[in-house]
Amino acid sequence: METTTYTAGILQYIPFFYVIWSDDLLSYSEISVVKNAIKNDDTLTKEDLSYLLKNLDKKKPPSYQEIKHWKQVISHSKIKLVESDVYPLATFSQNMICHHFEACPFNNHLKDIEINLGIQPNHYNHLFEVQIIKVTSSSFYNPLEIDNILKGEHAPVVDAFRDVLKDPIFKWSIRREKSAFRAHVLKQVTFLAKEGYGAMAYPEAYGGTDNMPAYAAVFENMMYVDGSMAIKFGVQFGLFGGSIQKLGTKLHHDTYLSETGKATILGCFAMTETGHGSNVRGIKTTATFDKETDSIVIHTPGENDNKEYIGNALDSTMASVFAQLIVEGKNHGVHAILVNIRDAEHKLMPGVTIEDNGYKLGLNGVDNGKIWFHQVRVPRENLLNKYGDITPKGRYHSDIENPSKRFFTMLGTLVGGRICVARAGLGGAKKALAIAVKHALKRRQFNDSIKVQEDLLMDYPSHQLRLTPAIASCYVYDITLTHMMKLYSDTTVPDKRKVETQVAGLKSIITWFANDTIQECREACGGKGYLMENQIADLKGDVDIFTTFEGDNHVLLQLAAKGVLSDFKSELNSDGFTAVLKLLGARISDTLTTINPAYTNNVDTVHLYSSKFHKDAFDYRTRRLTYTIAMRIRDYVKKGIPSYQAFLKVQTHLLELGKAYSVELAYNTYIDFTATIEEEKNRLLFEKLGVLYALNELKKDASWYLEQGYISGTKSKALRKRVERLSTELRPHIGTLVDGFGIPEHCMQAPIAK
Amino acid sequence: METTTYTAGILQYIPFFYVIWSDDLLSYSEISVVKNAIKNDDTLTKEDLSYLLKNLDKKKPPSYQEIKHWKQVISHSKIKLVESDVYPLATFSQNMICHHFEACPFNNHLKDIEINLGIQPNHYNHLFEVQIIKVTSSSFYNPLEIDNILKGEHAPVVDAFRDVLKDPIFKWSIRREKSAFRAHVLKQVTFLAKEGYGAMAYPEAYGGTDNMPAYAAVFENMMYVDGSMAIKFGVQFGLFGGSIQKLGTKLHHDTYLSETGKATILGCFAMTETGHGSNVRGIKTTATFDKETDSIVIHTPGENDNKEYIGNALDSTMASVFAQLIVEGKNHGVHAILVNIRDAEHKLMPGVTIEDNGYKLGLNGVDNGKIWFHQVRVPRENLLNKYGDITPKGRYHSDIENPSKRFFTMLGTLVGGRICVARAGLGGAKKALAIAVKHALKRRQFNDSIKVQEDLLMDYPSHQLRLTPAIASCYVYDITLTHMMKLYSDTTVPDKRKVETQVAGLKSIITWFANDTIQECREACGGKGYLMENQIADLKGDVDIFTTFEGDNHVLLQLAAKGVLSDFKSELNSDGFTAVLKLLGARISDTLTTINPAYTNNVDTVHLYSSKFHKDAFDYRTRRLTYTIAMRIRDYVKKGIPSYQAFLKVQTHLLELGKAYSVELAYNTYIDFTATIEEEKNRLLFEKLGVLYALNELKKDASWYLEQGYISGTKSKALRKRVERLSTELRPHIGTLVDGFGIPEHCMQAPIAK
């Protein structure tokens, strides 16, 4: 077969045509990109033009013979394919014609096509039987720039912190025995406190920078060192210190906050009880005011009413104890009281019993314990009295009269912790992905009989699909959490109820995502992933509990869903409810009318990649689920079923709403952010990651969209294919994408990630 | 509101009607069950009959007022609801009318309705504002009978083994330090060997019972003690001993098998290499025959060609080493050779280097290590020569001429190990479920303000949905694996290729299922699940690697899929291929024509619960995926893409086929089995578990079925609702169902499971 059977005009397009038709992934809009480039090519003769256009007809694709012929033309060309070229395929084409023809009028638009269609060497290098100069990673994007985009305004603080982590105290090693592990983690936490990180979120007067968002950004980076360190740090400064800062008043701040920030006072956050994990309002510990002695008596009434899983319980001298506050015989609901649990010699105070929770699946550097109180007396002033106080005359007083509102206001101040847990989970996922990707860019496996070298793991389509959508999700969740922390810390908006609802949902989907991702990474690294030395095992054990603590994910998702439904709540059981439902129903019908076959069947790339499509689809799902839940609850209530039972009956439905709402929120937040990225190259990359996230999420819930008739079967298949395609398109940049997480090299100690 | 507004004839139906209409789950076939019972009730007057039938019209449901009225009638009845009654709702009805009317002609068919519709107290006890006498578990089924059905013919062996596990040596405790842990596990394994369990699968002449199926049944039970013990046991007797038994000949059996079974020789199975995890054919260790000295030289050529993750590597004196056998300069492919790696004083033999793999995510009681060989010489006779031998004259000989066939024949003999790994995973899932269920039957959480006591965790619909389908899956997989081991051990069928393919797929889906289930159980137990003392943590770490070892799941699924495609293989690239495709295509079109709207929209219970529907749906999926993959590969090949690359391009598609095939196989195997259960009560229960498994699997892949137009949106929703409904229906029996696993009480040491 001779290459000279084609003119130079045609020949330059042959590699592109071969790549395009060897798979049938091109959509109409993509084909029109190619068509336009050809039509604008003045050097083509009429015959060349006609041949080329004839072979770009999706309805009448070229014959197998034709495609096979193109393949042979390429194979026989003897041109090298150099993957490190900026435009490898266009360069290949150019070399091919210039090798065969003296005059080689090359159409430079081919370079645009190569970029626009996302054609990557890994799409076609298997198909070209020519010498291939391989690269495992493209240097098209700069990981430092990407890292800077993620860090945003916190870049200086984060960079400084990453430098601090170079200290040998942060060197990771396998620590099996809990006493030694805990002792080491305590040293690390104290070290960080000395460096000023403990007080970061506190006011300047108490040694801090009053910067909770920066604290959260730094917190994620702790996961790169060790989960136990991050959690112990969070308990001491975020939970214990945070309760003093946010539930206490000046007296408490002056007395304890500076020392807490310096870790010269160690404290724990005693909220959860054995018998009452997620139901904080139902805790049984009592704090009874005794007028005679002007003191409060803390007491554990029953066998299962002890505090449990309390982090820092074995090292602490103080505890912020959550208990039912009883004043003048009346229960005023849950309040926090500071209690000395150990004396200066670290001996337990009278009436206090503490037991080690023992070994756990992970986080064995954190000293979790159980605490019982037997009639432990503390001064009245130890009540953290910002939202509810006992007057010197011994009367209860609160500015918030409604006990329920008071309870949720107090708990609301602690929402920052949930953002931090989600951030920590995200940090774990990022590190696992970085390890798995670095391994897959070195590790070779199997091969066909022809090739000398086994393929890189990362070149397997299934491997790309396992890791790439997860990487895209990390980017989306990173930006989302940064934004949520900003909202939460915005003092101009005092009512945090909305943020609370949002964070409840996001914490759930992100910690689940983190667990799934770490597991996928473990499996993607095979036996190597199972060895402790490669650090994924620790991440897996540590991040596991994030789905449970700071609010069980199932409970939080229902909280989020009820938040969404709360606009209806006040109208439930009233005449107005039906009116609202009608209105919402009408809006959804509106949407459904816009869902004509041209929409449900639209599989064109321009449409599938448009954020409008993603936003519409997410919005539709949230609204539709809200509407149907509201309808179901209304029906149950009408039939005489009490509203608590009605909510129980729609429980699984509520969980779906909570997830849908959170995904939509994350995507919208991310998309708003990408628009602000100035440099076009990086903006397009971030946008592409957003597309992958959105399509992957829609794919995961495709059955629901199909049930609703929102997408057709063809469109559902197209979503799936596009997710695979995008995962492949990002293959050359996958090394850069995990480097963009900015995990310091000194924290990447896994031998397989070297 | 007076109950006497109804006649006795109507009144007895009121509780049923209220339960039926408070949710809208009844299908036409279910309503007709009720209708028939009413029509056959001779005691009803014409007016009563007309009133009752009027209120059983799905198209014209009773008004909210009517339903509310029924509720009030029930509430005001003052009748107690006793959940422990055999027919609690019928009994309630009967008591209600007999309380109000002197003559109370009760329709006994109501009892049948109660059973037929699967109405359980937990469906309606929330709705009845009457005194409720609660039970957490029904005693309708007997767990011992269920356990006996699962054990089948192996009952005596399994029961005896469970008794052996009472020995204090099997008492579980937290073991963090690997040397001590390993020493203990070695003691346990030696103990079991002394009891005769090591040799079980070997011929009687070597101390065994020649009973591999019984060995597998016993093996699963080892997981109830500890994962490390099970795996160490499997390595010593199954892998090392198994390689001697199955790849060796009489000389090897006579010399080593008895001692191996007694654990007086400890051995390891040195197959996997660092650089070549899943690609056994590509291993690099060489075994070069040296004619001069009549010996074989074992050698590790390169840096990453060492053996890795080799279990028992630190305790063993021998190894069954897999290496490329080179005779007269020619490579005859992978063979196994027995090598002494340590002397009588447990010192390494010259040329052998062994390194500890160190701590792992789990299984830290197993001594995994790396092994290097530097020109290690062993006698020619050490070649395990059943399928390939070196003659005394120094020539290579094998009865199987085709090297590829020879390789797969050798590997095929080791498939039993895959069944055992799946069994072990299943054992882990069962134990985690038993712990989670027992916890959820004690633990109470939240409540509405009315009730005194918080609800049991197990009474939450979302909790039922998390655990019940997984329990059903355990039953299906248990029966399936028992059957597969029987097939594998059937000496009348020498060609094991089919079983190999099947086991490859089943091992993958079952070990993934086990991991997902254990994770779900961990989360379902909240913080308690995270504590080591509650045993789920260990299960999680141990079972994790099952997805990777004995064949990586991704690789195995492709193997399974290629097995399914193998009928086509010989015809690929030949004229016959198209003919086969046409035939298959026609069959699928046939199926599609039978998929008329009446089928795709059929949401009637009788249809949804019929095994015919499940079988058809699973069969359709497997066939459709096979066809589309074959078509895609054909298209690629026609375009000139080499077949290796074509298979790479359909990789994710192959994984889907592998899963689909395995689920279908498991279901069909299970359904065939349930038909053999003699006692009707238990048969119906097993059938119901099968329905739940099938519907849950179809639900998980609903998007695919929707895309194909195989089910409508309405049907997809119906599948989801039925999975929830069945999970709720099984709620009263969930305690019995986990007891039916037969996990010995002395192995259930988790405090939360007491």
Tens digit of each residue's pLDDT (9 = 90 or more) over A190-244:
999 999 999 999 999 999 999 999 999 999 999 999 999 999 999 999 999 999 9
Say how many CB pairs under 8 Å bridge A and B: 242
What is the C-alpha to C-alpha distance for residues A28 and A603, in angstroms, rounded to an integer? 9
Tokens 């190259």 belong to which residue? A681
Q: Answer yes or no: A273 catalytic.
A: no
pLDDT-based confidence at residue A451 (cuts at 50, 70, 90): very low
What is the C-alpha to C-alpha distance for residues B478 and B148, in angstroms, rounded to an integer? 12
From residue A431, alpha-carbon distances to A225, A483, A540 in Å are 10, 21, 11
CATH number for the segment(s) B267-411: 2.40.110.10
| Residues 304-323, chain A, touching B (beta carbon < 8 A) | 308-309
Distance from CA of A265 to the nearest CA of B (A): 27
Q: Identify the CA nearest to B529 among candidates B519, B517, B543.
A: B519
Q: Judge whether residue A125 has pLDDT over 90.
A: no
Cβ–Cβ below 8 Å for A526 and B552: yes
What would the mean pLDDT of A525-544 be, rounded to a whole number? 97
What is the C-alpha to C-alpha distance for residues B172 and B184, in angstroms, rounded to an integer? 11
Tokens 């008071």 belong to which residue? A406
Q: Judge whether residue A468 has pLDDT over 60.
A: yes
What is the C-alpha to C-alpha distance for residues B600 and B586, in angstroms, rounded to an integer? 20
Cβ neighbours of A530 in B, within 8 Å: 309, 360-362, 544-545, 548
Cβ atoms < 10 Å from Cβ of B47: 11
Q: Using CB atoms within 10 A of its CB, is residue A66 exposed (0-12), middle (13-18) or buried (19+)?
A: middle
Cβ pair A297, A242 in contact under 8 A: no
Q: Identify the CA nearest to A441 among candidates A117, A38, A736.
A: A736
What is the C-alpha to C-alpha distance for residues B263 and A445, in angstroms, rounded to an integer? 35
Cβ–Cβ below 8 Å for A530 and B519: no
Mind spelling out the 3-state secondary structure of A605-626? HHHHCCHHHHHHHHHHHHHHHH
Q: Find the residue in B nearest to A176 (Cα).
A: B176
Cβ atoms < 10 Å from Cβ of B391: 11
A491-496 contact pairs (CB < 8 A, 24+): A496/A412, A496/A413, A496/A415
Q: Using CB atoms within 10 A of its CB, is residue A571 exposed (0-12), middle (13-18) or buried (19+)?
A: middle
Q: What are phi and psi of A202, to 5 degrees?
A: -85, 165
Dmax over Cα atoms in chain A, in whole Å? 107
pLDDT-based confidence at residue A670 (cuts at 50, 70, 90): very high
pLDDT of res. A742: 98
Q: Which two tokens stand for residue A550?
A: 């700071």
A553 and B CB contact within 8 Å: yes
Q: What is the pLDDT of residues B542-576, one digit of tens each?
A: 999 999 998 999 999 999 999 898 865 554 445 45
Q: Identify the CA nearest to B372 among candidates B306, B287, B321, B282.
A: B306
**Residue A229 contacts by C-beta under 8 Å, 6 or more apart in sequence?**
A170, A185, A188, A189, A222, A365
What would the mean pLDDT of A75-96 be, rounded to a whole number? 88
A12-16, A309-313, B251-255: which range is least confident on average?
A: A12-16
Quick check: helix, strand or coil at residue A133? strand
pLDDT of res. A717: 95
Cβ pair B402, B388 in contact under 8 A: no
What would the mean pLDDT of A708-716 be, rounded to a whole number? 94
- Point out which residues pair with B263 in neighbouring strands: none
Q: Judge whether residue A453 has pLDDT over 60.
A: no
Q: What are phi and psi of A141, to 5 degrees?
A: -105, 155
pLDDT of res. B31: 85
Q: What is the pLDDT of residues A591-619, one digit of tens each?
A: 555 568 888 999 999 999 999 999 999 99
| Residues 140-169, chain A, touching B (beta carbon < 8 A) | none
pLDDT of res. A577: 53
What would the mean pLDDT of A268-294 be, rounded to a whole number? 91
Q: Identify the CA nearest to A135 among candidates A92, A78, A85.
A: A85
What is the C-alpha to C-alpha distance for residues B58 and B61, in angstroms, rounded to an integer? 5
Measure CB to CB from residue B655 to each of A448, A462, A531 and give the nearest one.
A462
pLDDT of res. A449: 44
Cβ neighbours of A448 in B, within 8 Å: 642, 644-645
Q: Single out the catalytic residue among B308, B381, B550, B729.
A: B550
A298-307, A453-462, B209-218: which range is least confident on average?
A: A453-462
Cβ neighbours of B461 in A, within 8 Å: 648-649, 651-652
Q: Judge whether residue A528 has pLDDT over 90.
A: yes
Q: Find the residue in B nearest to A715 (Cα).
A: B707
Quick check: helix, strand or coil at residue A491? coil
Q: DSSP assignment, residue B204? A: G
Q: Is this complex's ipTM strictly greater than 0.90? A: yes
What is the C-alpha to C-alpha distance for residues B336 and B383, in angstroms, rounded to an integer? 6
Q: Judge whether residue A345 has pLDDT over 90.
A: yes
Domain borders along chain B are 3-133, 267-411, 417-739
CATH number for the segment(s) A267-410: 2.40.110.10
pLDDT of res. B263: 98
**Residue B223 contacts by C-beta under 8 Å, 6 or more apart in sequence?**
B230, B424, B427, B428, B431, B539, B542
Q: DSSP assignment, residue B360? A: B
Dmax over Cα atoms in chain B, in whole Å? 107
Pairing type for strands B286-290 and B318-327 reads parallel
From residue A21, alpha-carbon distances to A48, A56, A66, A706, B282 in Å are 18, 9, 10, 29, 33
Which stretches of chain B score pLDDT less than 50?
1-3, 448-452, 571-573, 575
pLDDT of res. A270: 97
**Residue B455 contacts by C-beta under 8 Å, 6 or more apart in sequence?**
B444, B445, B446, B447
Cβ pair B361, A533 in contact under 8 A: no
Query: Structurally, what CATH architecture does the domain formed by A417-739 represent?
Result: Up-down Bundle (1.20)
Q: Judge whether residue A575 has pLDDT over 90.
A: no
pLDDT of res. A578: 58
pLDDT of res. B449: 45
Q: Which two tokens stand for residue A347?
A: 């001996």
Measure CB to CB from residue A279 to each of B357, B445, B702 and give the nearest one.
B445
Q: What is the pLDDT of residues A417-441, one digit of tens each?
A: 999 999 999 999 999 999 999 999 9
Give residue B307's identity as a one-letter amino acid code.
K
Using alpha carbons only, give the angle A689, A692, A695 rounded to the nearest 5 degrees: 150
A574-577 contact pairs (CB < 8 A, 24+): A577/A634
Cβ–Cβ below 8 Å for A450 and B702: no
pLDDT of res. B213: 95
Q: Single out the catalytic residue among A83, A500, A550, A664.
A: A550
